[in-house]
């Protein structure tokens, strides 16, 4: 059975959404991807309502097992942090109303999971997401690719077959990032 994850890259101007199914062997497949946008000139309550309505529609349509949201982190721009936090709250509340668990992941965790480096740039994340999901065209804008990366990261970190992936016959079909992540998880478990 696969794990369905809705990844959300929260933002007031662009909120990235991506749904991924990840099988027990860590093979990820994109189900849907998109971006909800709001204009800076709109009142805050209307912007949050647009995003909340879209989140409700995505949760009802795709029925994920879990929602993965980018964790708010400190930035120089306080208004950006506030907007991300407000959108995150809307997403978390919508999932909670449906009894769907929510996981928070930092940007560096996501970058490390999909590229092998916590310092990767957005283009590297987009390239690896495209490769991991076997897409012909890279998801754009970067917010959409980031949402997919969040979903992939959560599924891989949740252990959807991570231990079996390193020893399974299909291990050779994993991407280099998937192999590195599975091997790092296996080493961490042995070290406990």
d(CA 84, CA 186): 33
Q: What is the DSSP letter of 2?
A: P
Known active-site residue 60 = no
Would you say 67 and 95 are in contact if contact means Cβ atoms under 8 Å apart? Answer: yes
114: phi then psi, degrees, rounded to nearest 5 = -95, -20
Which of 136, 143, 183, 185 is catalytic? The answer is 143
Whole-angstrom distance, CA of residue 38 vs CA of residue 55: 13
Q: Round to whole Å and give the CA distance between 156 and 186.
A: 12
Q: Is 123 a catalytic residue?
A: no
What is residue 174's DSSP assignment? S
What's the token pair of residue 51?
Answer: 């995003």
For residue 9, indicate whether it is catalytic.
yes
Q: Which of 9, 21, 25, 146 is catalytic?
A: 9
List the catalytic residues: 9, 70, 143
């Amino acid at each position: 059975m696969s794990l369905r994850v809705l990844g959300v890259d929260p933002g007031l101007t662009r909120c990235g959404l991506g749904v991924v199914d990840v099988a027990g062997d860590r093979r990820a497949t994109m189900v849907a991807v998109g971006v909800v946008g709001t204009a800076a000139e709109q009142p805050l309550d209307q912007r949050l309502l647009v995003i909340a309505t879209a989140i409700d529609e995505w949760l009802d349509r795709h029925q994920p097992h879990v929602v993965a949201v980018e964790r708010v982190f400190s930035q120089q721009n306080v208004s950006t942090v506030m907007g991300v936090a407000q959108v995150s709250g809307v997403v978390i509340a919508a999932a909670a109303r449906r009894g769907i668990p929510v996981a928070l992941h930092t940007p560096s965790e996501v970058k490390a999971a999909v590229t092998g480096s916590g310092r990767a740039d957005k283009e590297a994340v987009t390239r690896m997401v495209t490769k991991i999901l076997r897409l012909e065209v890279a998801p754009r804008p970067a917010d959409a690719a980031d949402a997919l990366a969040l979903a992939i990261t959560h599924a891989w970190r949740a252990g959807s077959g991570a231990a079996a992936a390193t020893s399974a016959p299909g291990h050779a079909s994993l991407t280099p990032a998937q192999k590195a992540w599975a091997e790092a998880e296996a080493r961490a478990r042995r070290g406990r």
